Amino acid sequence: ALPVLVITFEVREHTEIDVVATGEATLGGRLARHMQVAEIRLPLAPSAKDLADVAARAQAAPQVVCVSYNAVLKPEQQALLAALPVDKVWLVAGRLPYDLDLLPQARGRLTAFSNRPAALEAIAGAVVF
């Protein structure tokens, strides 16, 4: 399988709803069991420079998975989604399913409804390249 770039917008503060992911607990960590993965983990509202750097890497990557997190509420995530190569990107809505509406032309779209390990495990088994 071709290498995949996994872009994860991650929660960095634990709450009753949100889990701070580490290591294999990310979608990238799960996919790395079966394929070559490069994972970029971003805060929920990254800088313009980080967004530009990640967009450039995504354009050069053979395939891309982007895990949004409430992107409908985050202009920074929306900006990155608009810059992704839709013909080779899977969008995973990591919390609110409405994020999928931001990239209707993506190669694939799935919603996890959560960033918890069980939800990401199910997503890892459903992403098909």
| Span 3-50, pLDDT tens digits | 999 999 988 766 655 556 555 678 898 899 889 999 999 999 999 999
| Span 59-82, pLDDT tens digits | 999 999 999 999 999 999 999 999
Cβ-contact 54, 76 below 8 angstroms:
no
0.85 cut: is pTM over it?
Answer: yes
C-alpha gyration radius of the chain: 13
